[in-house]
Amino acid sequence: MTECEKLADRAQGFGLGLRTVYYPDILESPQPVDWFEIISENFMVPGGRPLAMLDRIRADYPLRMHGVSLSLASTDPLDFDYLRALKKLIARVEPELVSDHLAWTGAHGLNLHDLLPTPLTQEALDHCVERAARVQDFLGRRIALENPSTYVSFADDEMGEADFLAELARRADCLLLLDVNNVHVSAFNHGFDAKNYLDRIPKERVAQIHVAGHSDLKTHKIDTHDHPVSDAVWELFSYVREKFGPIPAMIERDDRFPPFSELLDELGFMRRLAEAGERVAA
């Protein structure tokens, strides 16, 4: 296998979210992680340690960029200052993939710094299609949009979320980032069938998979990224791998950070599960 093939192979593999708490482990020695995903906004700063660490890690690993502030579904105008900063970071990182969410983060110039749910209406779909296309035109590349965890849904919804995403991806010619934990959380919260949701996702559009842990409040679940991935989510992940084949996949962890070795064990589990699924599929 040539160096280029090895790099391409790693980019197709299994990754982790890059978080500062793990910098010492990542910088100390090579880690069995094929790539890391950064939160784009964490590196949209003028300089200093964040960008220096980013450059050091980028020298050794492929990176993917995941944003939380695009606010695709907002009725506010697109923020081109933000998009310019994003484009500048893309030029620096040269990521395999740039992604954000099907969500809005605020209106009337405010930012609530949350991934707020959008009604699943034709009006919202048209709005998101138009904005996704403009974002891609500005960035000069396709982006992937992630299905969010949601805790409320709207009486005026005219379609399911999977159908909304499929149509959005088709019309805007964008990619999808399939967050399996979010499917599980939203399915529980709204009472829909997770596998039926996954069956409606166009697999040729799925560029990346997320899994993560969540908090179970019995009456509803919250996407907190502060627990190991649950058995139910691993089961859905296996279903996705069997159905969709090999797609770059990663674990998100954002709180109650375990030792890095534990996260690597969880990543190893993900690899074995995926490989087992591929053997079954074969």
Partner 1 sequence: MKLAELQSLFQASVLDAEPSPHLLARLRPPGRAESVAETFAVYHDGFRLRMTEFLANDYPVLRAALGELAFGAMAEAFWRARPSTFRNARWFGASLPAFLRTAPHYCADSFICGVAALEAALAKSFDAEDAEEIPISALAATREEDWPQLRLGFHPSVVVVETSQAALAAYEAAQTGEASLQSGGAVRLLVWRRDLDVNYRVLEGGEDMALVAAFDGAPFGEICSLLAFANPQKPAEELAMAAGNYLARWFADGMIVAAATAPG
Judged by beta carbon, residue 33 or residue 89, the one nearer partner 1 is: 89
Residue 222 in contact with partner 1, rule: CB under 8 A: yes
Judged by beta carbon, residue 30 or residue 48, the one nearer partner 1 is: 48
Long-range CB contacts (< 8 A, 24+ apart) of 152-158?
Answer: 152/117, 153/117, 153/120, 153/190, 154/117, 154/119, 154/120, 154/121, 156/119, 156/121, 157/119, 157/120, 157/121, 158/120, 158/121, 158/122
Count CA atoms within 13 Å of residue 51 on its CB side.
9
Residue 52 in contact with partner 1, rule: CB under 8 A: yes
Judged by beta carbon, residue 2 or residue 46, the one nearer partner 1 is: 46
Residue 121 in contact with partner 1, rule: CB under 8 A: yes
Judged by beta carbon, residue 186 or residue 208, the one nearer partner 1 is: 186
Judged by beta carbon, residue 113 or residue 141, the one nearer partner 1 is: 113
Residue in 24, 30, 109, 140 binding partner 1, rule: CB under 8 A: 109
Residue 106 in contact with partner 1, rule: CB under 8 A: yes
Count CA atoms within 13 Å of residue 19 on its CB side.
16
Distance of alpha carbon 279 from alpha carbon 200, whole angstroms: 24
Residue 209: both structure tokens together: 């998979």
Confirm if 14 and 250 have CB atoms less than 8 A apart.
yes
Residue 45 in contact with partner 1, rule: CB under 8 A: yes
Residue in 9, 60, 80, 112 binding partner 1, rule: CB under 8 A: 112
Distance of alpha carbon 71 from alpha carbon 100, whole angstroms: 8
Question: How many Cβ atoms sit within 10 Å of the Cβ of residue 235?
Answer: 15
Residue 189 in contact with partner 1, rule: CB under 8 A: yes
Judged by beta carbon, residue 71 or residue 270, the one nearer partner 1 is: 71
Residue 107 in contact with partner 1, rule: CB under 8 A: yes
Residue in 113, 141, 170, 272 binding partner 1, rule: CB under 8 A: 113
Residue in 57, 90, 116, 133 binding partner 1, rule: CB under 8 A: 116
Judged by beta carbon, residue 6 or residue 154, the one nearer partner 1 is: 154
| DSSP assignment of 212-277 | E--EE-SS-EE----SPPPHHHHHHHHHHHHHH----EEEE--SSPPPHHHHHHHHHHHHHHHHHH
Distances (CA, A) of 252 to 58, 83, 234, 248: 18, 24, 13, 13
User: x/- site string to partner 1, residues 143 to 172, per CB under 8 A?
Assistant: --------xxxxxxx---------------
Residues near partner 1, by CB under 8 A: 41-42, 44-52, 69, 71, 74-75, 79, 81-82, 104-114, 116, 118-119, 121, 123-124, 127, 151-157, 188-191, 218-220, 222
